[in-house]
A and B are shown apart, each in its own frame.
Chain A
């Protein structure tokens, strides 16, 4: 029974639980719903949940555990030293799975009988060719060990699938029976459903956190591998970035960090005043009608994919800056430059800052404005001396969040900033950023075992630490200096 079919069966059982749970609750009070502890719908949901949820949990655990157990069982087919090595074992297991799937396909296509598939050996001719004939391409000829392991894998997997279906269905039926047994007029189904809802909400909130932890762990482990191949001190403080896949690379972080921070600085110089003034206009000066038109228009910018912004940088802003500023002033001759990328990222961040700052300014109580106007202050005096100081912590937080977005921006810098890692003060020079280099080190035919590719993880880790630091600092500023309004 396939997993998909199993889930459908569980769904049907859940519907049965829904109908039966409700019916049983109503029957227990002779249809007088006022004598029920909870509304009939809660008994229905309780029946459905008890039929579905425990069985689904068992199924999930089974799906996670089965491959691990099978892998352990197959250890006997291979020399121990091959199996100890992580990367070799992963490759071997991938081969085994591929051959096993190939055999399945061959049986399904009629090229092999089920018996043949179980008994076929290397001696019967090229397995690779026979599988190739049914459309399963294998990279190399199948070794006897892999073939044996694959056959054993098929047997274990089919036993596992059967056991999985039986156990899951038993749990589902048991859950359903339990729900029906305890359902009566006094059973507190409402509270039980509430507890399940709480559980679902907690689960949802942990997924994001667990993912973050997973990302950090994987980056950390690759970064540690990188540091075993390349001196980490040279990476952190190196002034040259010159990767070479022939060896002898110089992988210094500083030029990339400089490019990243320089471009972000230009972006923030564009975005902060513009975004802040926009927010002040929208929150304090604009009439409700004007506001209802302008605010969505500005937020449209936030909806434009960054790759489109990148194109804009590449074909419009870059050449414009080159022809009108860089060349006439003799500062450079490249369309890709810190200025190009910085300006475009800045524009991208305007709605982000204006939208956040607008909310923050609106949260400043009206009574403070009245107080200031009541003393004969003008609007701009009120904004400058009362509203902005009151909103400052929130605005600083918004700016820091925008900065971490600018630092992490990839597409626009890839297209607008260039690829040359340089330490230069001239904003019309092409420079490059950490994100651009992560992309360029990982794209193309590369293996994940040289410092030139693994450096991408170290760069990613650096970026993560910088943005995480900025975010934490932003949250700290906001919490520490937030005015407690009643």
Chain B
């Protein structure tokens, strides 16, 4: 599509990848999220920030219908991925999740070898026709996750034997291998030490070239470092959404300012 992709020009693009309109989420009788309207752009890192329990993770889990696995969760409103409503009856949530990958708070490698962890997605979605192709996907995914050099000689070893930071990068590689269009990350660095965090953050910036990345984080420094767009959630409401530089330097809403300056949260 693009000859010589140029990050600078791509950032300025405003192709909307996901459009959310009037999203409401209920857990049983309790409303967890109300009236969320957001446009998430392609090739952009979007950060969701806000105090605990504000609904940012809930909203993230709406984007690939992970809330379906919680029996009493109910989602209303409209979420469009490339103009298609993902809560439409015709949409298969399993297919959707192949397009909208997810990385979780705690590294959760499967109790399998490193190779099989990465090959898991491509295998179940039939993305490859030969072992050679699969090998290639595993290698390129591990390279994208900046893990290839560390594990290339021990692909057969258990993924659970890696260090915490390596495990999280393995989970990112696993998500990347399915060739998603959007990558959702739910506090991907909260279980990692500063060095591993720095590696993952660097990685997120590189992933932006190929995906739309949405990251939930508790660390405002992290949001400021990695994202171009930031959404601030508070008590189940989307308070403010805009360019990261704008939100952190000149927020329009007093609540955003209070949170960023550390007065609420």
User: Which A residues contact B (CB, under 8 angstroms)?
Assistant: 287-288, 365, 367-378, 381, 385-386, 389-390, 483-484, 486
Contact = CB atoms under 8 A, between A and B. Distances in A.
A375 B69 contact: no
B69 to A, nearest CB: 6
A288 B109 CA distance: 27
A483 B175 contact: no
18 contacts: A287-B71, A365-B108, A367-B106, A367-B108, A370-B66, A370-B69, A371-B104, A371-B110, A372-B110, A372-B120, A373-B97, A374-B97, A375-B98, A375-B102, A376-B125, A377-B121, A390-B111, A486-B106
Nearest to A385: B120
A377 B124 contact: yes
Given A376-B178, A377-B94, 19 more contacts: A367-B108, A368-B110, A371-B108, A371-B110, A371-B171, A372-B120, A373-B66, A373-B97, A374-B97, A374-B103, A375-B102, A375-B175, A375-B178, A376-B121, A377-B121, A386-B110, A389-B111, A483-B111, A486-B106
A369 B120 CA distance: 13
A370 B108 contact: yes
Interface in B103-139: 103-104, 106, 108-112, 120-121, 124-125
Contacts of A367: 104, 106, 108
B160 interface: yes
A376 B95 contact: yes
B101 interface: yes
A332 B71 CA distance: 53
Contacts of B111: 368, 386, 389-390, 483
A390 B97 contact: no
A133 to B, nearest CB: 79
Contact of B120 (A287, A375, A484): A375
Interface residues of B, number: 29
Closest 7 CB pairs of A and B: A376-B98, A374-B102, A376-B97, A367-B108, A371-B108, A375-B121, A390-B111
B interface: dominant SS: helix
Name the residue among B98, B111, B120, B174 with the largest chain A CB count within 10 angstroms: B111
A interface: dominant SS: helix
A374 B175 contact: yes
A258 B21 CA distance: 70
A391 to B, nearest CB: 9
Nearest to B107: A367
A5 B110 CA distance: 65
A484 B161 CA distance: 10
Contacts of B178: 375-376
Contacts of B110: 368, 371-372, 385-386, 389-390
B96 A376 contact: yes
Contacts of A386: 110-111
B64 interface: yes
B112 A389 contact: yes
A374 B71 contact: no
A375 B97 contact: yes
A325 B160 CA distance: 51
Given A365-B108, A385-B120, A389-B112, A374 B94 contact: no
Nearest to A484: B160
Contacts of A376: 94-99, 121, 124-125, 178
A358 B104 CA distance: 25
Contacts of A288: 71
A381 B126 CA distance: 13
Contacts of B104: 367, 370-371, 374
Nearest to B106: A367
A374 B160 contact: no
A377 B98 CA distance: 8
B141 to A, nearest CB: 12
Contacts of B102: 370, 374-375
Name the residue among B99, B102, B125 with the largest chain A CB count within 10 angstroms: B102
Name the residue among A288, A365, A377 with the largest chain B CB count within 10 angstroms: A377
Nearest to B174: A375
